[in-house]
Amino acid sequence: MISLTDSQKIGIGLMGFGVFFLFFGMILFFDKALLAMGNIFFVVGLAFVIGLERTFRFFFQKHKMKATSFFLGGVLIVLIGWPIIGVILEFYGFFLLFRGFFPAVVSFIRRIPVLGYLLNLPFISGVSFTQQGDEEEEIVSWSFYFHIRIL
């Protein structure tokens, strides 16, 4: 079992609240206050989980500046008061920031009993996530291949 420090436990709780407020804010027709609270909770929770220095290094790597500007720009636009545009920018930035984790997440979900069964259905299993890129430059490009099985 993984042992967590108290600050990491607090960070996981804050990130959970952040995701909840973001989801609830979108359900309630992009409520500005809930989305702003969710953004703040998520970013502060991330800083608690991995530490301030590692959070700063993660967001401000040279090859992730575009993703960081979209994500933090979306947070700023939500705080200013344009929630729909801000959330779209945030999701795009979030996808660019965390796209390196998606293959690991999909392989982990495939091991969960019910969700793994659903992901291994013939139509869904035809979608494969492949990661291509140069390790020295740490640039990752994604391609999705759809395989159609003819009986």
Residue 12 in contact with residue 49, Cβ under 8 Å? yes
Residue 88 banded pLDDT, cuts 50, 70, 90: very high
**Separation CA 136–CA 111 (nearest Å):** 31
Q: Quickly state the pLDDT bin for 135 (edges 50, 70, 90).
A: very low
pLDDT band, residue 138 (cuts 50/70/90): very low
Token pair of 48, please?
Answer: 């608690």
Cβ atoms < 10 Å from Cβ of 42: 22
Smallest CA-to-CA distance from 142 within 112, 113, 105, 100 is with 100
Predicted confidence (pLDDT) per residue in 17-66, tens digit: 999 999 999 999 999 999 999 999 999 999 999 999 999 999 999 999 99
